Structures are given as C-alpha cells and as structure tokens.
A = this chain, B = another copy of it.
Amino acid sequence: MDFEIIKSLLNEVDTKIVLLVIDGLGGLPMVEGGKTELETANTPNLDSLASKSNCGLSEAISPGITPGSGPSHLALFGYDPLKYQIGRGVLEALGIGFEMTKRDLACRANFATMKDGIITDRRAGRIPTEKNEQLCKLLAEKIGKIDDVEVIIRPGKEHRFVVVFRGDGLSDGLTESDPQKPGLKPLKIEALNEGAKKSAEIANKFIERVNEVLKDERPANTALLRGLAKHPDIPSMKEVFGLKTAAIANYPMYKGLARLVGMDILETGSTIESEFNTLEKNFAKFDFFYVHIKKTDSYGEDGNFEAKVGIIEEVDKFIPRLEALKPEVIVVTGDHSTPAKLKAHSWHPNPFLLYSPVCLADKVQVFSERECASNGGLGRFPATEAIPLMLAHSLRLNKYGA
C-alpha cells in the first residue's frame, strides 16, 4: 500500500500492537510424511491463540524467493524490500552493533595478503580475531580522517572488519576492490554515477593509507573493500505508520534493522524470559513492539530439529504473559523459514497469526504451516500487508473515500 495513502488515513488512538517474530519459524519434516518443527512442538498456548486468530502464510519478497534477514524484516515492518534495499556493508555494520547515521557509507572489509601488487590471500590466512582487533586499533589511530571524511574502523571475526566513512556528500553506487580470486591485482574502486565520485576517491585513498600503515605487517598487509553502501533513505515507522515503536532483540543485526526504521532499542537480557520481562516493563511506553526470538533460526541453520522444537516450546510458555498485557493486536510469525532439513533460510512461506478482539477468527485450531495453509482466512499473502492489517485491527486507520 502506498505510504502517502496510509499516512492520509492515520487515526490517533491509544492502542497497542505486538509483533512477535520467531526467526526462521517455518520448517519441513526431516522425512517425507513427517512433521515440521512447529507441528512437532507441543504449543498449547499458540494453538489456543490461533483458534481465535486470523491466520495465513506470509511471504517476504515473492513466491519462491528465499529472503535474507534484512529484506525479510523490512517486509514485516511494512517496507517493500525490493524498493528499500539495504546494502551489504550496512548489514555488516548493523551486524556488529555499529550505530549508523544517515551520513554514513559502510563497507565490509577483509584483511588480505598482497605481494608485489598481487593479492596472494584474500583472507590473510584467516588471522585470529585478536590480531584483527590489534590491526583495527592501529588503523584507527593512524587514519582518523581522509580529507573532510571521518573514518571509523571496527573489527569483526577473523579477517573481517567494517569500515564506515562518515561525512557529507557520500553516496553509494561504487564498485568493489576485491578481485574475487588470488593472483590478481586489487581493483580500483570506481563510481558508477557522478554523485559517487567523492566516495570512490575517499575509499581509494583509504586503501592507500592502509597499505602504508600495514606495509611491514605479515600476513595482513592490505585490505579489500566490498559492499560499499550508504545508510538507506528509509522513512521511519513513526512517519509512515504513526507508531511509536520499540524493539526487543538480543542480536546486533536485528537491533540494527529496527534502528533503521526508527525503533527505540530496549535493553534486554539474552534469554527469552528477559525479552518478555522487557516487554512487560515497557508496555505502557510504546504503541508497537517488535519482539525477536533468534534461536529457532540458529538451530534451523545448524540442522538441529529437536533444539528448534525446544525453542518453539519455550516461546509457547510466554504466550499467556503476552496475552495478559491485552494489546489490541498480537501477530506471531517468522521472518522467513529455516527448515532444519535444509540447514538454511528457505522460501517456504511463514505461518502467521493475527489476534485482535476485532479480527474474524478463521477455522485454524492449531498453529502450524499446514493449518495456516488449509484453513487460514488470510491465505498466502505478501508480508508487507501485515502492518496495514495490524493498523486496521488496532483501529488506527480511517476509511478511504466516502
């Protein structure tokens, strides 16, 4: 739905929405004819909630397209993930918990080994993280600024680090310096449009400075830059949907994604219980809460079916506490599927339930992929429709036309 239309319909009311994202929730049976993780899990509370909800299957991007966490979350937050693209550098910066500003251009960087101008190892022998941290500290000391642009350097794991250029007039639309295989020269970073020329110049000067500072280091004596990307120009959920929003998430990437759309990030602990404690403590202060459960996805990626089932069952125990808060709308869904069978994100649509006192419950009695498919009144639908549905059910949208 066009943002201008949504904005023109917004109604100021004091109602609350909780979006509970169980990351990678959807799954597959390990053997043909078997049950999925969600079907296997004993979830009396989710089933009871589903039986009074409007259910369906959501898709973040398009049928058959497996989403990364960036686009899958943007879709659930109401943004067309094909229109609002988050560059790889930005995701990397968010992933290490770096707080980006709108003036920032971020890159994924690798320490690498160069000999006689030729890259001999693109990962510098996967140097230990401690060495990475030392080198980042050294670079930060030596390269504080390039021209009028501030340079911020943050270590990641092994050979990976993040470089953020902060200044005016930076823009994306840049090639990468990584030649993609050893035995080649690093590439000059080039501007793909007129507006990116300054950024290309800064990035190339940065690489020259790195080469000077690290010239006596071995094996990490250069850096390769990839995924150079500007902070996306994305309107906040407050601006577009009129919502005062808060995120309850443990992992930096998800906090970063939430920050991109203007959410306040609430302090919380590393357990599911602490996330629900945080929700309760802050319930009066916001209109919209995004609560993120990470480990279903992690265990899915590990191929650990039983552990994923366990996390779903653990989440189920907190549903009564969520209901007791009496938000006008509760949505429980995944951002994408992560079947343990595939050990990876997948394209399978997400089981989705929307509960509200003014929803028309459908015939779903058990919260599962297949019940949502067969009996869900919402059918299979684009995840970007979730926010308009949440706004409607919390009575936040006026009538369109007379």
Q: Which residues of A contact B (CB under 8 A)?
A: 1-2, 5, 9, 28-29, 32-33, 36, 52, 57, 61-72, 81-82, 85-86, 88, 91, 339, 341-342, 344-348, 357-358, 360-363, 369-370, 373-381, 385, 388-393, 397-402
Q: What 18 additional pairs, Cβ within 8 angstroms, besides A29-B360, A33-B361, A378-B380?
A: A1-B62, A2-B82, A5-B82, A63-B381, A63-B389, A63-B392, A65-B392, A65-B397, A66-B392, A66-B399, A67-B401, A68-B400, A71-B400, A71-B401, A81-B400, A347-B392, A360-B369, A362-B370
Shortest beta-carbon distance from A31 to chain B in Å: 10
Contact across chains for B36 and A88 when beta carbons are under 8 A apart: no
A397 touches B66 (CB 8 A): yes
Given contacts A360-B28, A402-B88, contact A65 B388 (CB under 8 A): yes
Instruction: Give which listed residue, B32, B342, B397, contacts A347 with CB less than 8 A.
Output: B397
Q: Give Cα A358 to B345, complex, Å.
A: 13
User: Can you sample 27 A-B contacts with CB below 8 Å?
Assistant: A1-B63, A2-B82, A28-B358, A29-B360, A57-B377, A61-B400, A63-B381, A63-B385, A63-B389, A63-B392, A65-B392, A65-B400, A66-B392, A67-B400, A68-B399, A70-B401, A70-B402, A72-B401, A91-B401, A346-B392, A347-B392, A348-B360, A362-B373, A363-B373, A369-B377, A373-B375, A380-B381
Shortest beta-carbon distance from A342 to chain B in Å: 7
The CA-CA distance from A67 to B400 in the complex, in Å, is: 5
Give A361 to B33 CA distance when docked, in angstroms: 8
Q: Distance in Å from the Cβ of A132 to the closest Cβ of chain B?
A: 21
Instruction: Assess the A86–B401 pair: CB atoms within 8 A.
Output: yes
* Bound CA–CA A376/B379 (angstroms): 10
Contacts of A381 in B (CB 8 A): 63, 380
Most chain B Cβ neighbours within 10 Å, of A67, A72, A373: A373
Interface SS of A by simple majority: loop
How many angstroms between the C-alpha atoms of A392 and B339 in the bound complex? 14
Partner of A66, one of B67, B70, B398: B398
User: Cβ of A388 and Cβ of B66 under 8 Å apart?
Assistant: no
Closest 4 CB pairs of A and B: A64-B388, A373-B377, A68-B401, A64-B392
Q: Which chain B residues border A376 with CB–CB below 8 Å?
A: 373
Which residue of the partner chain, among B88, B342, B390, B401, contacts A358 with CB atoms under 8 Å?
B342
A373: B residues at CB distance < 8 A: 360, 362-363, 375-377
Chain B residues near A57 (CB-CB < 8 A)? 377
Q: How far is the CA of A357 from the CA of B30 in the complex (A)?
A: 10
Q: Report chain B residues within 8 Å CB of A341.
A: 358
Residue of B nearest to A396 (CB): B64
Residues of B within 8 A of A401 (CB): 67-72, 81, 85-86, 91
Chain B contacts for A85, CB-based, 8 A: 401
CB distance from A308 to the nearest CB of B (A): 15
A377 engages B380 (CB within 8 Å): yes
B5 adjacent to A32 (CB under 8 Å): no
Determine if B399 and A67 form an interchain contact, defined as CB atoms under 8 angstroms apart.
yes
Is A64 touching B370 in the complex (CB atoms < 8 A)?
no
Closest to A61 in B: B400
CB distance from A18 to the nearest CB of B (A): 17
Structural contact, B64 and A389, CB atoms closer than 8 A? yes
Question: Given contacts A64-B385, A373-B377, A374-B377, is CB(A399)–CB(B345) below 8 Å?
Answer: yes
Residues of B within 8 A of A9 (CB): 65
Contacts known (A357-B32, A363-B370, A392-B65); A91 close to B402, Cβ less than 8 A = yes
Closest Cβ of chain B to A116, distance in Å, is 34
Give A400 to B341 CA distance when docked, in angstroms: 20
**Nearest Cβ in chain B — how far from A109, in angstroms?**
16
Q: In the bound complex, what is the Cα–Cα distance between A380 and B55 (angstroms)?
A: 12
A347 smallest CB distance to B (angstroms): 4
